[in-house]
Structure 1
Amino acid sequence: MSEPGHAPDDPGKRPRHAPTEPGVLRVSIAATAVVAALGIVFGLLSGSYAIVFDGIYSLADGATSMVALLVANLIAGYNATGAQNRRLVEKFTMGFWHLEPMVLGATGLLLSGAAVYAFINAVGSFMSGGRPLQFGQAIVYAVVTVLISLVMAGYGRRANRRLRSDLVAMDVRGWMMSAAITAALLVAFVLGLAIQGTSLEWMSPYIDPAVLALVCLVVFPTPLGAVRQALQEILLVTPAELKRHVDEVAQRTVERHGFLGYRAYVAKVGRGRQIELYFIAPAGWPARTLEQWDALRDEIGEAIGGDSPDRWLTIAFTTDREWAE
């Protein structure tokens, strides 16, 4: 038996102006577009490839956020009621959870790839003598971008205390990374401005490619954690904690009701939890009504917990072990 569950949040009890997952992502996309535009414009005006990279990196991040927003809307539409939900269920009977790790993985690979490409360009520029830079314009960009990034990271973090969304969490990490990267640029640009007119001015052309290379080295490994998590979910690697909890519930059920054993199959795909439980009953057991079997399913489902649209729970009873293997 498969049961989609019920939404954990009662709309009537939800705060009137509480942000939703799509709403947070929309605000983030708008802010990312502003930061990307600032980065590209100020980067070209100041002659800083590090700033241009920061803008392009933000542009790529915004594009992936748009895909994440599409996935969030699809999941919300699947869990909704009405004609739209019926059409989605008919075409995608297994839901859209599988899209979430795909988006997370693609985002991580894209951002890491951009960092590798920029690092190669930075090394080439450094070896060719660096490039001149307008430090005043670069500093203005860095200050504005750090402020925007910190505000957006705080906004997303507060909203995600209730939403608990992997997509929003990834977005918050992106803003924190952006703030850290731009803060490093700001420090470098201030130092570059400070050495103007001194004996160290010869170092000025090397500041931008050196900072860009360092930023790329820091950025590259950061998205790989999301890629690793996405691969685990795409490959249906069994989450140890969830499996342990399901095993405990199943074992108690076996001991309480006299089953011979059970088989549990567990996976986490995005925000979705897929759980299949097969209980092996002795041959010749007295017959039970369907209502009694359903009551036992309800008991097991309540013990497992997490009754929400993101839980896919299947519970079956059989005397033939082959059906459970």
Structure 2
Amino acid sequence: MISFDGFYSFISLGLAIFAIVITNFINKKDFKNYPFGKSTLEPILVIIKSLVLLIMCSITMLSAIRQVFNGGNSVDEGFALWYSIISSVGCTWVYLYMKKSSKSLNSEIVKVESNQWLMDAMISVGVLVGFVFSIILKKLELYEISKYVDPGMVILTSSTFLRMPIRSIIEAFKELINTSADEEINYDINNLVKTIQDEYNIDDSVARVAKIGRELRIEIDFIVSNESKIKSIEDMDKVREYIDNNTNHFDLKKWLNISFTKNKKWAV
């Protein structure tokens, strides 16, 4: 269990450094080489990090299962207790710091990183509880049972943590293929578009909204007619300004594209 915790922490540290490098690269503006931005790098990084954790947890769980069938193993609980106490405090502090940073930066990478350190803190707390239980078993002279505590904890924690990277991979993949943004965002955008349609007597509209990393991509095509109140470029810019001002509450970097046409084939 200590090996699993230490290896997990080592992997977490390496992935954290990798995440910092990629985040700095994403934040550097380079319109010439990346005219559509670098937002897709965030879900790609999340998938890479999650795959590493998924593979690590799977291999460790299989190794622990093999240990159970081989009769378990004995552990020096004294060293394990001190290690787990220090590790629990340290990982919890890093998790709280990363969680606070993820809110201020609004970054999926930092959010995943904070969840990863939460998992690490939970592992360390699990080590502490497990080895206290192992000491109790030895005090009760149940030595044979105590041998299964260590691999049992590894199986329990690794199987539990498998869900988090799997969930992260699924969500990041959805962003990569431009799946529609969540219901709350779509509801707000559609209500905003309906308000504009009614106010300017616009026949129809097509709204596409997707979230990729920290970027919210909004594309709206208005299908106007001779009866619509959109008569000039100034009117169009007025609508664009209205939409821009009424989508600031999403707290995401916006990619806003608003077009006007009389032929619906250019909107679909």
State if a TM-score over 0.5 links the two structures. yes
Unmatched 5+ stretches in structure 2: none
The structure showing larger relative contact order (alpha-carbon pairs under 8 Å, at least 6 residues apart) is: 1
Answer yes or no: is the 8 Å Cα contact 1:71–1:96 preserved in 2. Answer: no
Which position in structure 2 is the counterpart of 1:122?
Answer: 64
Deviations 1:224-268 (A, max 9, x none): 221221121112111222222211111111111121111111111
| Aligned pairs for 1:154-193 within 5 A | 154-193=96-135
Shift of 1:178: 1.4
CA distance in 1, matches of 2:82, 2:126: 14
Return closer, same or farther for 1:176/1:309 CA change in 2, 3 Å cut-off: closer
Is the 8 Å Cα contact of residues 215 and 254 (structure 2) preserved in structure 1?
yes
Deviates more, 1:164-173 or 1:124-133: 164-173
Does the 8 Å contact 1:301/1:307 carry over to 2?
Answer: no
RMSD: 2.2
Residues 1:218 and 2:160 aligned together: yes
- Give the counterpart letter for 1:214 in structure 2: L
Q: In structure 2, how many angstroms separate the alpha carbons of the residues matched to 1:61 and 1:266?
A: 33
Q: How many percent identity over aligned positions?
A: 24
2:245 aligned residue: 302
Secondary structure at the aligned position of 1:236 is classed as coil
Q: Report the more deviating stretch, 299-308 or 69-78.
A: 299-308
TM-score of the aligned structures, taking structure 1 as reference length: 0.76
The one-letter amino acid of 2:239's match is L
Q: Are 1:268 and 2:211 an aligned pair?
A: yes
User: Counterpart of 1:61?
Assistant: 12
Query: Out of 78, 88, 95, which is 1:153 matched to?
Result: 95
The answer to whether the 8 Å contact 2:43/2:172 transfers is yes
User: Contact 2:200–2:230 (CA<8 Å) still a contact in 1?
Assistant: no
Q: For 1:89-128, what aligned pairs fall within 5 Å after superposition?
A: 89-128=31-70
Counterparts of 2:239 and 2:156 in 1: how far apart (Å)? 59
Instruction: State the shift of 1:51 in Å.
Output: 1.1
Change (3 A) 1:146 1:320: same
Q: Is the 8 A contact 2:54 2:165 kept in 1?
A: yes
The code of the aligned residue for 2:23 comes to: A
Q: Distance in 2 between matches of 1:173 and 1:258?
A: 48
SS at match of 2:173: helix
In structure 1, runs of 5+ residues without a counterpart are 1-49, 79-87
Q: Say if 2:196 and 2:239, in contact at 8 Å, map to a contact too.
A: no
Deviation, structure 1 residue 63: 2.5
User: In 2, Cα distance between the equivalents of 1:132 and 1:296?
Assistant: 71
Q: Which runs of 4+ in 1 moved over 4 A?
A: 283-289, 306-309
The Cα shift of 1:52 comes to: 1.0
